[in-house]
């Protein structure tokens, strides 16, 4: 299938709204990622790498 056909099909496709469970999953993933970044920053402050 040539790329022009794929581009045409993608342009014709309708956007589907996110399901509630997908929204929850995105929220939990972002929240967990931010929380782990904060934990990493705190650990880095308490135990700096000697170098």
Structure confidence at residue 6 (pLDDT): 87
* Token pair belonging to 24: 């929850």
Domain ranges of the chain: 15-51
State both tokens at 35: 């929380």
Q: What pLDDT sits at residue 51?
A: 65
The pair of structure tokens assigned to 9 is 């099909």
Write down the pLDDT at residue 27: 98
Q: 47 — alpha (psi -120 to 50), left (phi > 0) or beta? A: beta
What are the percentages of helix, strand and coil residues in the chain, rounded to 5? 75, 0, 25
pLDDT in tens, 1-51: 567 788 888 889 898 999 999 999 999 999 999 999 999 999 999 999 876
pLDDT at 25: 98
pLDDT at residue 7, rounded to an integer: 85
């Amino acid at each position: 299938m040539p790329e022009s056909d794929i581009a045409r099909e993608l342009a014709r496709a309708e956007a589907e709204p996110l399901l509630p469970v997908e929204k929850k999953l995105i929220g939990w993933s972002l929240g967990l990622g931010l929380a782990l970044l904060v934990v990493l920053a705190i650990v880095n402050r308490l135990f700096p790498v000697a170098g």
